[in-house]
Amino acid sequence: MWEALKTHYAAVHGREIKNLFDDRRATEFSARCGDLLFDYSKTNIDSAGRDLLIDLLANAKVAEKRDAMFSGEPINMTEGRAVLHTALRNIDGEGVYVEGTDVMPAVLETLSRMERFAEDVRSGAFQGAGGKITDVVNIGIGGSDLGPAMAVKALSPYHDGPKCHFVSNVDPADIAEVLRGCDPATTLVIVASKTFTTIETMTNARTAKAWMGQSVDDPAQQFAALSTAGDKTSAFGIPDAHVFGFEDWVGGRYSMWGPIGLSLMIAIGADAFKAFLRGGQAMDLHFRSAKWEENMPAMLALVGVWHNQVCGYTTRAVLPYDNRLARLPAYLQQLEMESNGKRVSIDGQDLTVDSGPVVWGEPGTNGQHAFYQLIHQGTRIIPCEFMVAARGHEEDLHHQHQLLVANCLAQSEALMKGRSLEEAMDISGKLGFDGAERERQARHRVFPGNRPSTTLAYPQLDPFTLGQIIALYEHRVFVEGAILGINSYDQWGVELGKELATALQPVVEGRESADGKDDSTAGLVTFLQKNGL
């Protein structure tokens, strides 16, 4: 299958994307899910190429793997676990079984407990030492931070609860700056760690507890834990009623649909949080039922495979023209790169094609004044994934939103069309240049064009829509991983650094010698110690 795709790419890669357009292309090379529109017509994929890509799905048995995931089979084979974050948003669905047990009653009970706790915090029934809670500090890292931090910012127009802050970095500057703006007596601290042993999270949790203990008699009463380690949360002093656990079939980077989303629920309320879940559930239903050529997660994944594994484009830029999605690129970095950044297949054999691309991005229009120069005129092609809403939440500034949309659509058009030397010569001539200088000036104004992009459009960023978008990208990860034959749900690549950091800590603290370390590491430790470490 890969050879057929490579052969097809070799035959078409030099053609102009703009020449593929007729009055049907935009419709035929797009997919819809509810009010979402995914347009991939500004890519070099044609009908024959799409057919070959869809053949990959059959060859990799993606439909069967999809059904196995939703039915609770242990598709995380290196850890022997089911992958059922979808169950957390299955609030209107049927039972979901793991080893013969329906997990939905427990999921719904935990959701109900979260709702009661969140409402108590929001209403003031849950009080801190100083009365009603005004601030919530979520302490986590990775999936325990990136998801809720992204979603809280994305849904800020729906906030009517306490102000939410997020601490993730073990760098003391992170927690010091957050706590400096909070009152210990009216702050709730949420510690998000499934095992309650994550070193960065627990270091910050102890710092927050000490900070609160300076003015609150029993600070642990103003803590909540998102963890399954009841013995450890109890030892920390957190009441059982403030502890919300989740099963090992929920991976960290897929976990904000459940207890990890508690900070979001406190910020926007239970009804809006349920709308977020239902958005994810709607995308699940679409993914399970839509034909491949109309299936938005499948086509988003296949476009990614075309650009990365077939065309050889090693990065992709995620460019939301929606400032409240500023944290989405960072969230997707973990979701995609931790999931599909693997080098061996499920059976342990080296991959025969490249694994996932580098994912990065920034909201428009900020990015236009930062890195778009390289995207438009650099020597490497970077596929761009634009996102844009038909309307914002600032109704009195709708004309400004229209300018934002115009910028988004103009960028994808410019990437595709480019500017020829002839057109640039005309511009430089009008600027008064002639002769050799006219051509020299013109060459700086040439845009090669023929650079691919996709656009995801939606009416407005609300809880339901955000749920659809996040589930869309989760399923993209699944499809790409299934095609590559890898396990998208483990992350052994993060382990070695953790082990070495644990071994290095006593050396850094001066309790052990750096003997046995390489000269670079030993020299850096010595330099830092001499300079105040």
- In this prediction, residues 166-183 reach a mean pLDDT of 97
In a domain, 94, yes or no: no
- In this prediction, residues 143-150 reach a mean pLDDT of 97
> Does one domain contain both 54 and 42?
yes
In a domain, 108, yes or no: yes
> Does one domain contain both 128 and 264?
yes
pLDDT digits (tens, 9 = 90+) for 225-280: 999 999 999 999 999 999 999 999 999 999 999 999 999 999 999 999 999 999 99
Which of 336, 338, 474, 480 is flagged as catalytic? 338
Distance CA 247, CA 84 (A): 9
Which pLDDT value is given to residue 434?
95
pLDDT digits (tens, 9 = 90+) for 486-512: 999 999 888 888 888 989 999 999 999
Which of 109, 498, 509, 512 is flagged as catalytic? 498
> Does one domain contain both 443 and 515?
no
CATH assignment of the domain containing 185: 3.40.50.10490
In a domain, 193, yes or no: yes
Domain boundary among 450, 467, 502: 450
- Among this protein's residues, is 498 annotated catalytic? yes
The overall average pLDDT reported for the chain is: 96
> Does one domain contain both 501 and 459?
no
In a domain, 90, yes or no: no
Domain boundary among 248, 274, 300: 274
pLDDT digits (tens, 9 = 90+) for 373-428: 999 999 999 999 999 999 999 999 999 999 999 999 999 999 999 999 999 999 99
Percent of the chain clearing pLDDT 90 (strictly above):
96
pLDDT digits (tens, 9 = 90+) for 362-375: 999 999 999 999 99
> Does one domain contain both 505 and 471?
no
> Does one domain contain both 109 and 176?
yes
Contact predicate 191/223, CB 8 Å: yes
- Among this protein's residues, is 369 annotated catalytic? yes
In a domain, 514, yes or no: yes
Which of 369, 398, 437, 495 is flagged as catalytic? 369
**Nearest to 299, CA basis, from 44, 29, 115:** 29
What are the beta bridge partners of residue 188?
136
Computed on alpha carbons and rounded to an integer, the radius of gyration of the chain in Å comes to 25
Distance CA 222, CA 140 (A): 17
In a domain, 281, yes or no: no
> Does one domain contain both 470 and 509?
no
Which pLDDT value is given to residue 494?
85
**Nearest to 138, CA basis, from 64, 204, 49:** 204
Domain total for the chain?
Answer: 4
Which pLDDT value is given to residue 334?
96
The answer on pLDDT for 327 being more than 90 is: yes
Q: CA separation (Å) from 85 to 123, 223, 343, 439?
A: 29, 25, 24, 58
Which pLDDT value is given to residue 498?
84
> Does one domain contain both 187 and 319?
no
> Does one domain contain both 373 and 397?
yes
The answer on pLDDT for 1 being more than 90 is: no
* Parent domain of 131: 100-274
Domain boundary among 250, 274, 298: 274
> Does one domain contain both 319 and 335?
yes
In a domain, 385, yes or no: yes
- 156 falls in which pLDDT band (50, 70, 90)? very high
Q: CA separation (Å) from 480 to 20, 36, 324, 336, 527?
A: 26, 21, 27, 10, 44
> Does one domain contain both 47 and 113?
no
> Does one domain contain both 216 and 363?
no
In a domain, 27, yes or no: no
